Chains A and B, each alone.
Chain A
């Protein structure tokens, strides 16, 4: 796309430029995918109904219908499919604070809603069509395993998906992709179980047999190629956005090492989220369908390999977009994902030091404390009542259905009032 890597320009950043460049590219992509869909509809209409308008109409109506659902309901569908539950500040002050910190750093207009997914896997995603309808969701496993700096990096990454309107783009693209795949699928069914052949004769007079065959061939090619092409575009966008979100996270936090360390933890643990599926996968910070291992950047991967993302983040000498671009070039040996317009401007961006707890793991909250905190939160979210035994201090968890006035501690035998 661009020529040589720019090493001049008194190194700076400009996230707004990047957002604007993104927006233009997004519109082009959606239009291109839309054109693909309409072309498919056109040829299928010719093939099956002898009328290109019928095919176009079916494609358009299907697309519009699904897009409207995705636009207005996409976020809540995704959250409810993932079994995510909303939390307030009182439920987990630290998480809430970190999200608010990143909200401020990114200049987001409204505080996003925070959701927890009860899953030991380490993963997170963001939803919402714009800044005013945004949510971030993270798994309880992530909340337990990551320290403050790491969590900040992950939330910064999610925040930039919202800020860059990636979520909207991805949901519009996935709807288009879905419509193309469904159309092609049903068309191939109809073709193989007889539908097109019998109608061919009527049109034959005006166009000739050759024309009919050409239409058939073109329609066939489209049916096979359209879903593949759509998928490739979709995945390419997805991976590039991941790199850009990493770069923005580094810029927001001024601390790429935090996200790098979080990603390392993600890499060595399971990111497989049981409620995720193919449609929701690109929304997550790390591929939720992948069990473990797998490091080759294949064309159909929704996410770049974690090890590479970590290497780039670790190679950053500052926190700006330019620093990310340079680190990317150093690690991958080719031009990075940051658009040229985002690299113009002035002013270098320094890194901040690690927070105290990250430097000395013994200080601040430890992983054991975080585990306890998270499990308390999960019990509370499942409406379990926790009381501490007055005799021995054991924590007793009472299910929501428990309706007795008192409970006998199984440990020391003390009867505690509920």
Chain B
């Protein structure tokens, strides 16, 4: 065999290795996006579980806030019911739930007895932290999507992406303006 053939084989092998590497990193990034989405889900579910407890604890103290409590319960049920919806729809519903919760926690401020209740304080810590965890997991999800999308759009990995049908990831966006403040349980 002559030298030219060996060079040709070498070039093909190197190219194949590069392509395998690109494909694998695309798969890795796509899995990271999926995993990050699952993490948001875990935190959202945790919030669904906390809300009935919170409403139960608070109800005894707040005779005159039925509307606020019902709004929270309703938003929770709607959001929990749509747990298999797309990213866009879920962002909107979760945003509404965050808003309802924030309003409830503002109202709580008018009930000093409630703020002395150990059970409520523990719940409040859990809720504050769950709100933080939701926004941090959303943040990590968006970071992952950004990285994945960059890879699918940039040359040369975009060729592999279109060849094997890697679709763009969707950002988890905050749709409602008031939801921006919601993650902080604020008593201001």
Residues of A within 8 A of B (CB): 14-16, 93-94, 97-98, 100-102, 104-107, 252, 254, 345-347, 352-353, 355-356, 359-360, 363-364
Contacts and interface: CB of A to CB of B under 8 A. Distances in A.
Majority SS of interface residues in chain B?
helix
Interface of B: 32, 36, 39, 43, 122, 125-126, 128-129, 132-133, 135-137, 139-140, 143-144, 146-147, 150, 181, 183-188
Of B128, B132, B150, B181, chain A has the most CB atoms within 10 Å of the CB of: B132
B150 A345 contact: yes
A100 B129 contact: yes
8 contacts: A15-B143, A93-B125, A94-B129, A101-B133, A104-B43, A352-B183, A356-B185, A364-B187
Contact of B136 (A93, A101, A356): A101
Contacts of A14: 147
B139 A356 contact: no
B150 A353 contact: no
A355 B132 CA distance: 10
A104 B125 contact: no
A363 B187 contact: yes
Given A93-B125, A93-B126, A355 B139 contact: no
A104 B150 contact: no
Majority SS of interface residues in chain A?
helix
Which 10 residue pairs are nearest across A and B when measured between Cβ atoms?
Answer: A97-B129, A105-B136, A356-B186, A104-B136, A101-B132, A104-B137, A107-B140, A355-B184, A101-B136, A363-B187
B37 to A, nearest CB: 13
Contact of B188 (A93, A97, A102, A360): A360
Contact of A97 (B125, B139, B147): B125
Contacts of A106: 140
B133 A100 contact: yes
Contact of A346 (B135, B136, B146, B187): B146
B150 A93 contact: no
A104 B141 CA distance: 10
Nearest to A16: B147
Contacts of B39: 104
A95 B23 CA distance: 40
A356 B137 contact: no
A104 B181 CA distance: 20
A347 B136 CA distance: 17
B129 A353 contact: no
Contacts of B125: 93-94, 97
A360 B146 CA distance: 35
A107 B128 CA distance: 20
A156 B181 CA distance: 22
Contact of B184 (A105, A347, A353): A353
B120 to A, nearest CB: 13
A4 to B, nearest CB: 25
A249 to B, nearest CB: 13
A101 B36 CA distance: 14
A356 B50 CA distance: 21
A359 B188 contact: yes
B140 A104 contact: yes
A354 B186 CA distance: 10
Nearest to A350: B180
B140 A101 contact: no
A93 B50 CA distance: 15
A346 B142 CA distance: 12
A150 to B, nearest CB: 14
A331 B125 CA distance: 37
Contacts of A93: 122, 125-126
B139 A105 contact: yes
A305 B186 CA distance: 34
